[in-house]
Amino acid sequence: MEHNEKKIGDLNKEETKSLNFLEAIVEEDIKNGKNGGRVHTRFPPEPNGYLHIGHAKSICLNFGLADNYNGMTNLRFDDTNPTKEEEEYVQSIMEDVRWLGFDWEDRLYYASDYFDQLYVWAVKLIKDGKAYVEEQSSEAISEQRGVPTRPGIESMFRNRPIEESLDLFERMRSGEFPDGSKVLRAKIDMSSPNMHMRDPVMYRILHATHHRTGDKWCIYPMYDYAHGQSDYIEGITHSICTLEFEIHRPLYDWFLDQIIDTDYRPRQIEFARLNLSYTVMSKRKLLELVKEDYVNGWDDPRMPTISGLRRRGYTPESIRNFADRIGVAKRDNIIDVGLLEFSIREHLNKITPRVFAVLNPLKVIITNYPEDKIEELELEVSPEDESMGTRKVPFSRELYIEHDDFMEDPPRKFFRLGPGREVRLKGGYIIKCEDYKKDESGKVTELYCTYDPETKSGSGSTRKVKGTLHWVSVKHAVDAEVRLYDRLFINENPDEVDDESKDFKSNLNPDSLKIVTGKIEPAVMEMRELEKFQFQRLGYFCIDKDSTDERPVFNRTVTLRDSWAKKNKR
Ligand code: ATP
Ligand code: MG
């Protein structure tokens, strides 16, 4: 009896998805009534570039966690560095977060909103003997900071009178000193094995115009000083960041210790950042690709930016599913980009209408089909979703098929067209290749086929052939520019180079974009507003913003199967 009960208990446990370590921490905090049981997270981008798929993971995590536990999430621009930040980035970041399906409601903040309060707290730290104005050069500071294994050397300004530091800090603020001449340092521990605790810099002088505060300030707080205090001001409970900040955590806590006199306290928790194979994710490198024209802007469909993925044809659902699938880890790892591609295939398979498109056309003339006859064949829009209904596909004497679907001398197992061979034209008839024409260079230019009128699809004909091809009627085809995108890098790890004079850019894939003129079935123009399509047998494609009324432009989102997995096995 007892034995049986145990078994049922175990089964139930297996059925509920186990908590990830962040959820476990949050549940424990709620159970203990920490911070009144509240869950409040934030997403804190620095507006110095466009968001990428790594940020998407952080967004899903922060907003997702709050959603699951009845909490809230703030969007906070971490704009403490006026020299690299731009309004364009602020706008793009907001657009991307919204597009991913998340809502910060009225909680849009900027670290720069807190400059006054941060200044007041800095003055308090000086008064408490916990901070001092340093006048040595940055070289001298880092020299004295030393190495983790030996204690550093205390600055000669470390024990200067409080009044002196207060006076100098005030004058730093009022613009009396040039950039780099002085900094405010926290007075912590010059012998700490953690280098971040060896009197870190809190403020530096920067005579730069800030995108929001203009010229009000010429001293700016450092990330470590601004971040935790901003969390505190906003009532954040769980401050989730990537692993490289683990070593900053004692400093995060130290700054909070200096100002907190309440029970409430934010907690920093680290997780492993997302790394993807065949992808670079650092903003510096992405900026380089944009600035040096290796790609066509931040939203180039080959970029791992959210705007690039959007233009490539990714859906918010597919990115959220991907983020969910990869979960959260405490150790750094590399995720196969194939998993991201799988997520978009999976979603597009469910939602896209199917159409015929021929990207490398070869003309087929059906010699026994009447010259002026046109048949409107009725084909299903999607085998995955009957509610999408049917579409009309015109069939006529002259058609295009894919050039690769014909071989002059095909091997036995080539179930497509060759001299004397038969195939079914999907939704139409069985045709037989009787003859073909070549140009001077030996390239096949036309096929002459006959059709069997008894084999019309849906007519109850029982005759079967092995191969089925897609096709488009010559007369009815719509010309489209089709941009065949592929992975931007040829190397799994783009940073791996064989000699030191090279960098990640030497691993760019020369074939990451091929442009062809495709022949598309006319129904696509009527379904245009659906934007995303499956070109049957070829892949998923979406309409690009460069389209005009006369000439649609399509981007290939992804092929139907992962061709890279095959390549790697060879
Ligand atoms: P980069 O190092 O590429 O410049 P960053 O971390 O400086 O990126 P931020 O704008 O500061 O960029 O990042 C905002 C948030 O997104 C941070 O909380 C950061 O931890 C998170 N984030 C950035 N990159 C990744 C990633 N690859 N995976 C998961 N989270 C990330
Ligand atoms: Mg950062």
pLDDT tens digits along 407-441? 999 999 999 999 999 999 999 999 999 999 999 99
Residue closest by Cα to atom 18 of ligand 1: 241
State the closest ligand 1 atom to the C-alpha of 62, by its place in the atom list counted from 1. 18
Whether 87 sits among the annotated catalytic residues: the reply is no
Give the model's pLDDT for residue 86.
83
Identify the structural domains of the chain with CATH numbers, from first to last: 33-271 (3.40.50.620), 283-351+479-520+538-569 (1.10.1160.10), 354-477 (2.40.240.10)
543/353 Cα distance (integer angstroms): 13
Q: Is the dihedral of CA 203, 205, 209, 215 positive or negative?
A: positive
- The mean of the pLDDT values for the chain is 94
Residue closest by Cα to atom 27 of ligand 1: 54
Give the model's pLDDT for residue 347.
98
Residue 558: phi and psi, rounded to 5, are -165, 150
Q: Quick one: pLDDT band at residue 460, thresholds 50, 70, 90?
A: confident
The rounded radius of gyration (Å) of the Cα atoms in the chain is: 31
Give the model's pLDDT for residue 3.
42
Give the model's pLDDT for residue 85.
73
3-class DSSP state of 17? coil
Q: How far is the CA of 406 from the centre of ligand 2 (A)?
A: 54
How large is the average pLDDT for residues 271-279? 97
Q: Quick one: pLDDT band at residue 569, thresholds 50, 70, 90?
A: very low
Contact 48, 79 (CB under 8 A): no
Residue 45 corresponds to which amino acid?
P
β-pairing, 238-242 vs 267-271, is: parallel
Contact 421, 436 (CB under 8 A): no
The per-residue b/e assignment along 314-330, b for 16 or more CB within 10 angstroms, e otherwise, is bbbbbbbbbbeebebee
Whether 2 sits among the annotated catalytic residues: the reply is no
Contact 451, 368 (CB under 8 A): yes
Pocket test for ligand 1, best of 273, 279, 282, 330 (most atoms within 8 A of CB): 273
509/513 Cα distance (integer angstroms): 9
Q: Which residues line ligand 1 (CB under 6 A)?
A: 44-46, 54-55, 57-58, 78, 241-242, 273-274, 281-283
Q: Which ligand is nearest to the CA of 273?
A: 1
Give the model's pLDDT for residue 377.
97
Pocket test for ligand 1, best of 242, 285, 322 (most atoms within 8 A of CB): 242
The verdict on pTM exceeding 0.85 is: yes
Q: Considering 23, 46, 288, 384, which one is annotated as catalytic?
A: 46
* DSSP character string of 108-132: EEEGGGGHHHHHHHHHHHHHTTSEE
358: which 2 tokens?
Answer: 């021929």
Q: How far is the CA of 146 from the centre of ligand 2 (A)?
A: 25
Q: Considering 84, 145, 265, 273, which one is annotated as catalytic?
A: 273
Q: How far is the CA of 118 from the centre of ligand 1 (A)?
A: 23
Q: Which ligand is nearest to the CA of 285?
A: 1
pLDDT digits (tens, 9 = 90+) for 117-158: 999 999 999 999 999 999 999 999 999 999 999 999 999 999
Look at residues 246, 230, 294 and name the one whose alpha carbon lies nearest to residue 45: 230
Residue closest by Cα to atom 4 of ligand 1: 283
Pocket test for ligand 1, best of 43, 55, 280, 333 (most atoms within 8 A of CB): 55
CA distances to 58, 298, 300, 305, 476 from 308, in Å: 18, 7, 5, 5, 32
Residue 452 burial by Cβ neighbours in a 10 Å radius (0-12, 13-18, 19+): middle
Give the model's pLDDT for residue 568.
52
Q: CB neighbours of 238 closer than 8 A, spacing ≥ 6?
A: 22, 25, 26, 29, 39, 40, 41, 65, 266, 267, 269
Residue closest by Cα to atom 26 of ligand 1: 54
Residue closest by Cα to atom 22 of ligand 1: 55
Residue closest by Cα to atom 10 of ligand 1: 45
Q: Quick one: pLDDT band at residue 83, thresholds 50, 70, 90?
A: confident
49/90 Cα distance (integer angstroms): 9
pLDDT at 11 over 60: no
Q: How far is the CA of 48 from the centre of ligand 2 (A)?
A: 9
Q: Considering 42, 283, 302, 421, which one is annotated as catalytic?
A: 283
pLDDT at 38 over 60: yes
Whether 46 sits among the annotated catalytic residues: the reply is yes
Q: How far is the CA of 246 from the centre of ligand 2 (A)?
A: 13
pLDDT digits (tens, 9 = 90+) for 392-403: 999 999 999 999
CA distances to 276, 301, 481, 560, 564 from 509, in Å: 16, 14, 21, 20, 13
Look at residues 337, 321, 326 and name the one whose alpha carbon lies nearest to residue 100: 321
Residue closest by Cα to atom 9 of ligand 1: 45
Q: How far is the CA of 132 from the centre of ligand 1 (A)?
A: 31
Contact 489, 507 (CB under 8 A): yes
Q: Which residue has the higher pLDDT, 549 or 253?
A: 253
Contact 62, 75 (CB under 8 A): no
pLDDT digits (tens, 9 = 90+) for 335-387: 999 999 999 999 999 999 999 999 999 999 999 999 999 999 999 999 999 99
303/487 Cα distance (integer angstroms): 9
* Percent of the chain's residues with pLDDT above 70: 96
301: which 2 tokens?
Answer: 């469909």
89/93 Cα distance (integer angstroms): 6
Q: ∠325-61-486 over CA atoms, to 5°? A: 50
List, in sequence order, every residue forming a beta bridge with 425; answer none if it has no partner.
469
140: which 2 tokens?
Answer: 């001298």
Q: How far is the CA of 130 from the centre of ligand 1 (A)?
A: 30
User: First vs last Cα of the chain: how many Å apart?
Assistant: 56
Q: How far is the CA of 390 from the centre of ligand 2 (A)?
A: 50
Q: CB neighbours of 3 closer than 8 A, spacing ≥ 6?
A: none
State the closest ligand 1 atom to the C-alpha of 281, by its place in the atom list counted from 1. 3
* DSSP character string of 52-121: BHHHHHHHHHHHHHHHHTT-EEEEEE----TTT--HHHHHHHHHHHHHTT---TT-EEEGGGGHHHHHHH
458/456 Cα distance (integer angstroms): 6
Give the model's pLDDT for residue 332.
92
